[in-house]
Structure 1
Amino acid sequence: MPSPDPNEASHKCPQGCCPSPFFNSPASQGELGKPRNSCAECRHRFATETASSIFPNTQFTNHESLPSLQDSFSEFIKVYPQYSETEQVDQVRAKEYSHLIASDHTCLDYIGIGLFSYSQLQRLDVSKTQDSSPSISKAPPEYSDFPLFSISSRTGNIKTLLLHGGPESAFESALRKRIMSFLNVSDNDYFMLFTANRTAAFKLVAESYPFQACRKLLTVYDHESEAIETMISSSEKRGAKAMSAEFKWSRLRIQSAKLRKMIAGRRKKKKKRGLFVFPIHSRVTGARYPYLWMSIAQENGWHVLVDACALGPKEMDSFGLSLFRPDFIICPFYKVFGENPSGFGCLFVKKSVISILEDSSSAGIVNLVAERQPFQVSDDSSGTDIKLEKKPSRLQEELASSSSFFSKITKVGESSGLQRTKAPEESKSPKSSASEEMHDAIESQQERKAKDGEDEYLDIECRCLDQVDLLGPILITNRARYLINWLVNSLLKLKHPKTEGVPLVKIYGPKIKFDRGPALAFNVFDWKGEKVEPVLVQRLADRSNISLSYGFLHHIWFADKYAEEKRRVQHTKESRGQEGNKKYRDNLGITVVTAALGFLANFEDMHKLWAFVARFLDADFVEKERWRYTALNQKTIEI
């Protein structure tokens, strides 16, 4: 790849909106041949060139006609050459999450952020012998199923806990500091509570927020959420008036005029109106929402709760926390990606808001109880107040000593079998090498820890958080952007045979878009136009070793021109109530299949999902699968 022209550098978008060579094509220049430097133009070009460059003028009507993984990747890398710069993620996946390769498992059902890597669950039993002969080999790895920690209920009053704190183990204190550092949240401004899960965090806010004085609850969700439903129910019992934003069919963008009206209200006085719950982007459709809504709400006297549950790793770094300073933040963590979805929720409360909260039960707040630790413990340690030796983490040692960990790939990857392109030759300056930069970063991190006294009692090794920190938000975001847009484009290329191009897949929310989130909501339709039930798609995908989820889209607003489509696509989740009943209207929506891309997702995952969905082009696919399942003496899937 030739070096870029220095004269072109000044024309590049500062936000990295122009990641591919086709953005420098003549078509992207003005009439006088001068490059446009508009971010909006770059983002538009990204979408249009993605659509025209991936399988151009092609429709796939037979699952057997799909290009191979190798051929698809070759075309993918031509459109997104910068994807090769994210090879570090594949290195991490192969080294730290070997179970994904061993089981050939594609995990597209994880929302949130992992704490630990799968390699931390490994325990290597070394034979105790004084014989140092080279012929003596180590025992094979054994996998331990210890959960790293467990949770226990914490009693008391939430306001008291927020104002005065309470006893906590060294384990909890260390993990709290690690998480707040990872999310870039200052303990000078916020107090953090561990909760049993995401739902418990929302319920705690609902039961302590002063709805008697600030009566309104306004939420912005295009999908049904157990946590939000629980919050609404608890709030209404305490006198709140619950409202919801609506989303325009068919791209599911926020119905701006109505939301602005609900935020502004009728009163002109600067009085606190209530609680505005804002999710940044949809964890189901991948739609991103302008941060401006938080500012508008704050200007109109609302307290703001930011739901960061759908944010990818490190997105908190770029989401402008210091600018908007929400009153509450909720974010979940799970233990190990692809292995252990259990974990906890984190509730951040701005300290200046604690005084307005009302006394309520602390049900849902938990203590974290350390069990068998994946780090070195001194001989005199006991219980959860563990004192550890001060030593670099295993991950830090490995990264510092590995000169190839962050090197550019120049050969075929062993795990995926995909041909990667060679990256430009790296600088030979010792200070600019990846290993030197990594070593400096690790030393700096250790110095900060020592300065803050974090190592005095406990140094928890959260390898997943460490990996994300080292990879950085730009690399992770760009990688997900390339993958999700390729997948969207490829799914839209699937058409039923002999039906004049009837699409196999309907995608809800944003299609190909530069700033869409790494989540996708879709449905599969047969050649007659009838929807294949999402739960059936999920179960068949699971049989192909692909983990998907399903959800329910609601609060959809249809313009008059979509009246017929409104009657056709919506249905009630539960068959109850009358058409004029509010509960009936709230139950109207669309069940969908959902896929979510974690930071470890790779192109092979996308191609595998695409190939699976393409099998529905066979009109007899479902019947064949039912017969095969029954023939194997297994329980029949109910449709």
Structure 2
Amino acid sequence: MQSPSTKESSQLCFQNCYPTPFFALNESENPPISKPRNSRAENRRNFTSQTTSSLFPNTEFNNSDSLPSLQESFDQFITTYPHYTETYQIDEIRAKEYYNLSLSNHVCLDYIGIGLFSFSQLHNHFSFSYPSTSSSPPPLPPHSSDFPVFHLCYKSVNLKNQLIEGGDESKLEFSIKNRIRDFLNISEDDYSVVLTANRTSAFRLVAESYPFGSYKKLLTVYDHDSEAIEGMISSSEKRGAQSMAAEFTWPRLKINSSKLRSMITNKSLISKKKGLFVFQLQSRATGARYSYQWMKVAQENGWHVLLDACAVGPKDLDSLGLSLFQPDFLICSFYKVFGENPSGFGCLFVKKSAISLLDSSTSAGIVSLVSARQLFYLPDESSGTENEIDQDLDLGSSSSNSGPIHVQSSRMEKGESSTSLVRLNGDKLSEIEVIDETNEMFIGHRSTRMSRKRNSPIECRCLDHVDSLGLSLVNSRTRYLVNWLINGLKKLQHPNSDRAVPLVKIYGPKIKFDRGPALAFNVFDWKGEKVEPILIQKLADRKSISLSYGFLHHIWFSEKYEQEKGKVLEKRRLEERGCNLGNKRKEKEHLGIRVVTAAFGFIANFADVYKLWTFIAQFLDADFVEKERWRYTALNQKTIEF
């Protein structure tokens, strides 16, 4: 049974979440909000107290029925964060370009990333249909000259040679690479780039090409388990690397600065050839942000630096200033569309001065982009898990068709998937073949590389939206949303217990001005027993809320908290690691905390965080899980394993 608050959230449309004056301020009824006189530094200092004192002060919620309505909550939210109204442009973009989220009442909080195209952009191109049994090619959609959908073709090439010599590329790939460079403000004079199947492939390419024979160390800074990083560590150790990892102090999960500095400086090493320092500016699990000065410290002590920019916010790299802290490698990833199957590709940027130090090796993972309009068959998106290949293709009764068709495999990490092309020989599918760069599907552009200023034939509307909004506007909006949610979650307390038992525990930064839009937490029942994150994810999915779960690790306990260590840490399960990495870790590296994670993209709105809040509040009912089990069985006439 849904609580009244949950029902209200699911019924209200976009306009109802924001009163009319929000879009068209009438000065006689709604005088403009005066700018605060406080300095920026003072605003930062007052942010936490402002949040806790203004949002449901001195209030605890012991059941989901006691929660305030969506409208009441929003009114209080605006009172606390009046400058949220200045972000109305994002709501207009969401209503126009991502209306699928409102139509499906879907809350997407399961990955961090920036898309290339908007839902509206893709929908307009796919607003036609054709029989799946047709033996003739389907008609091309309107405006096919700027058709945005692409497919990935694997290339068996040497990474070093590819970076030096480049290679033939399609018009689509040429255009998208340029657009991404502009978006990230990365100069072609400083960096070469290759496209990869996904984020994991980009990290593995570096691991298989970096000269660990001469530079022995690999030092990573991650507070959470990552398939991409684990794969990199495994590949590096097979090539002779000695891997190390930064630690994070309990309970706030800040970087253990003294230990990290010690590992970076490493006075025992006489040689200046330290190794590879892998760093992220923000945790994609907890939302913790780290100082970019760590990159400078590493560079000054002889390390090459790989910057993981996959979790940075829109336009964050503009404020970083790559010209000041030029990493040797930079990895980012882009998705097709927000709210749909988040398939896309990764980007590996390599500083041109660092290319010469790479070992020559042919590795899998480099891809080229091919426009979907060049294919005879337009594919349906599919999803899967690690090492799963979906080949559910209806090819019709004709056995004479011959043309490239796609199959897709998805990674365990959210937002990571890749697509390959196969050839149809008669009525059988051949094995996945590598598409040669000289294939007729590719168009060389060596002669046009000097004419970079020509207009791009591809419109990446999502990137355009983020460019138009800017860093300050997007960061302010997500700052208000995530801190309101954290405050609301802290107000949820179990009723009728001998001692105060909070429903939710949050890991990493809590209410804080300078935190990212990602959140790691767990839910506990009235006895203090943790509800398994995967169960919460399944139940949330049935409420049209997409969450993820992760594993926090490398947690360091000081003597003060040593007694909590045994109560907090749990052993990582093999099935949660995504794959069998084949390398033995120390036992302590398998210890951590399984958590639920939520991440807010730039088009998230207040209704999204309210819906998540009211969903989590339902766990205050001690019988909520059993009721959901019964409800599922009654509706589907079968049981479900939680």
TM-score (norm 1): 0.78
Q: 1:192-271, aligned counterparts within 5 Å?
A: 192-267=193-268, 271=272
- 2:179 alignment partner in structure 1: 178
Counterpart secondary structure, 1:529: coil
Which residue, 472, 475, 478 being the options, matches 2:476?
A: 478
Residues 551 and 592, structure 2, Cα contact 8 Å, conserved in 1: yes
Task: Check if 1:569 corresponds to 2:568.
Answer: yes
1:57 aligns with 2:58: yes
Question: Aligned equivalents of 1:151 and 1:124: distance in 2?
Answer: 19
Give the partner amino acid of 2:612: L
Partner of 1:297: 298
Question: C-alpha separation between the residues in 1 aligned to 2:453 and 2:505?
Answer: 54
1:287 partner SS: coil
Q: 1:362 deviation in Å?
A: 3.2
Residue in 1 that maps onto 2:548? 549
Q: Does 1:453 align with 2:453?
A: yes
Alignment of 1:48-447 (within 5 A): 48-123=49-124, 148-267=149-268, 271-372=272-373, 385=443
Q: Is the 8 A contact 1:536 1:637 kept in 2?
A: no
Which residue of 2 is the match for residue 436 of structure 1? none
Task: Tell me if the contact between 1:110 and 1:337 (Cα under 8 Å) persists in the aligned partners.
Answer: no
Distance 1:172 1:564 in 2: 55
Cα distance, 1:272 vs structure 2: 2.2
Alpha carbon RMSD of aligned pairs, Å?
A: 2.6
Once the two structures are TM-superposed, the CA of residue 384 in structure 1 deviates from its matched residue by 5.7
Which residue in 1 is equivalent to 2:431? Answer: none
Alpha-carbon distance between aligned partners in 2 of 1:628 and 1:540, rounded to the nearest angstrom: 11
Contact 1:571 1:590 in 2 (8 A): yes
Post-superposition shift, 1:330?
Answer: 0.3
Deviation at 1:69, TM superposition (A): 0.6
**Does the CA contact (< 8 Å) of 2:74 and 2:606 recur in 1?**
yes
Deviation for aligned residue 1:385: 4.6
Q: Which residue identity does 1:619 align to in structure 2?
A: A
Q: Is 1:494 equivalent to 2:497 in the alignment?
A: no
Letter aligned with residue 537 of structure 1: I
Given that 1:219 and 1:243 are in contact with CA atoms closer than 8 Å, whether structure 2 keeps it comes out as yes
For residue 627 of structure 2, what is the amino acid of its counterpart? K
Q: 1:546 to 1:352 in 2, by over 3 A?
A: same
List alignment gaps of at least 5 residues for structure 2: 1-20, 22-32, 129-140, 375-439, 576-583
Q: Secondary structure at the match of 1:632?
A: helix
Contact 1:149/1:368 (<8 A) preserved: yes
Q: Which has the larger displacement, 593-602 or 159-168?
A: 159-168
The residue identity in structure 2 corresponding to 1:85 is E
Aligned-pair distance for 1:52?
1.3
* Residue matched to 1:608: 611
Contact preservation (8 Å) 2:98, 2:119: yes
Aligned to 1:423: none
> In the TM superposition, what is the alpha-carbon distance from 1:169 to its structure 2 partner?
1.2
Q: Deviations over 1:436-495 (max 9, x none)?
A: xxxxxxxxxxxxx9984323xx51011111111111111111101110110111100100
How big is the shift at 1:535? Answer: 0.2
Change beyond 3 A, Cα 1:22–1:587: farther
CA spacing shift, 1:126–1:93, aligned 2, 3 Å: closer
Whether contact under 8 Å (2:474, 2:602) holds in the other structure is: yes
Would the aligned equivalents of 1:154 and 1:362 in 2 still touch at CA under 8 Å? no
Alignment match, 1:521: 520
In structure 2, C-alpha distance between the alignment counterparts of 1:267 and 1:302, rounded to whole Å: 15
Q: Distance in 1 between matches of 2:69 and 2:271?
A: 61
- Distance in 2 (alpha carbons) for counterparts of 1:450 and 1:218: 38
**Which letter maps to 2:595?**
V
CA–CA separation in structure 1 for the residues paired with 2:200 and 2:585: 24
C-alpha distance in 1, partners of 2:279/2:450? 37
The 3 A distance-change label for structure 1 pair 609 and 125 is: closer
Q: Does 1:592 align with 2:595?
A: yes
In the alignment, what sits opposite 1:408? Answer: none
Query: Counterparts of 2:469 and 2:444 in 1: how far apart (Å)?
Result: 30
TM superposition outliers: structure 1 runs of 4+ over 4 Å: 20-24, 124-127, 267-270, 382-387, 449-452
CA distance in 1, matches of 2:218, 2:367: 26
> Structure 1 pair 594/125, CA: closer, same or farther in 2 (3 Å)?
closer
Cα distance between partner residues in 1 of 2:70 and 2:230: 41
Kindly indicate whether the alpha-carbon contact (under 8 Å) linking 2:148 and 2:459 is maintained by their aligned counterparts in 1.
no
Cα drift, residue 502 of structure 1: 1.3
- Residues 601-635 of structure 1: per-residue CA shift (max 9 Å, x gap): 00000000000000000010001001111111255
Output the amino acid matched with 1:498: N
Partner amino acid, structure 1, of 2:90: V
Q: Secondary structure at the match of 1:102?
A: helix
Kept in 1, the 8 Å contact 2:168–2:442? The answer is no
- The alpha carbon displacement at 1:125 in A equals 9.9
C-alpha displacement of 1:636: 3.2
Q: 1:206 to 1:634 in 2, by over 3 A?
A: farther
1:124 to 1:162, Cα distance in 2 relative to 1, 3 A: closer
Counterparts of 1:77 and 1:169, CA distance in 2 = 48
Q: Is the 8 A contact 2:289 2:514 kept in 1?
A: yes
**In 2, Cα distance between the equivalents of 1:566 and 1:575?**
21
Q: 1:575 to 1:308 in 2, by over 3 A?
A: closer
Instruction: Tell me which residue corresponds to 2:622.
Output: 619
* Structure 1 residue 568: Cα displacement: 0.7
Moved more, 622-631 or 41-50: 41-50
Secondary structure in 2 aligned to 1:340? coil
Q: 2:111·2:548 contact (CA, 8 Å) conserved in 1?
A: no
Aligned 8 A contact 1:193 1:346 in 2:
yes
- How many equivalent pairs are there? 520
How far residue 23 of structure 1 moved from its aligned partner, in angstroms, is 6.5
Q: Secondary structure at the match of 1:321?
A: coil
User: SS state of the match for residue 111, structure 1?
Assistant: coil
- Following the alignment from structure 1 to structure 2, what is the Cα–Cα distance between the partners of residues 204 and 246? 25
Say which SS state the counterpart of residue 324 (structure 1) adopts. coil
The structure-2 alpha-carbon separation of the partners of 1:237 and 1:21, relative to structure 1 and needing over 3 Å to count, comes to: farther
Alpha-carbon separation, structure 1, partners of 2:619 and 2:34: 35
The separation in 1 between residues aligned to 2:605 and 2:35, in whole angstroms, is 23
What is the distance in 1 between the residues matched to 2:46 and 2:123? 46
Q: CA distance change for structure 1 residues 147 and 547 in 2, over 3 Å: closer, same or farther?
A: farther
Query: Which digits, 9 at most, give the CA deviation of each residue in 1:531-570, with x for residues without a partner?
Result: 0000000000001110000000000001112222110111
Pairwise CA distance, 1:323: 1.1
Distance change in 2, residues 1:245/1:367 (3 Å): same
Shift of residue 147 of structure 1? 7.8
In 1, Cα distance between equivalents of 2:125 and 2:569: 54
Change (3 A) 1:188 1:523: same
Measured in 2, the distance between the counterparts of 1:95 and 1:55 equals: 33
Asked if the contact 1:23–1:45 (Cα under 8 Å) also holds between the matched residues in 2, the reply is no
> Kindly tell me: are residues 57 and 168 of structure 1, through their superposed partners in 2, closer, same or farther at Cα, counting changes over 3 Å?
same
Q: Mark the CA change 1:266 to 1:450 in structure 2 (over 3 Å): closer, same or farther.
A: closer
- Letter of the structure 1 residue corresponding to residue 453 of structure 2: G
Please state whether the residue corresponding to 2:290 is helix, strand or coil.
Answer: coil
* Deviations 1:199-235, CA, capped at 9 Å, x for gaps: 0000000011011111000000000000000000000
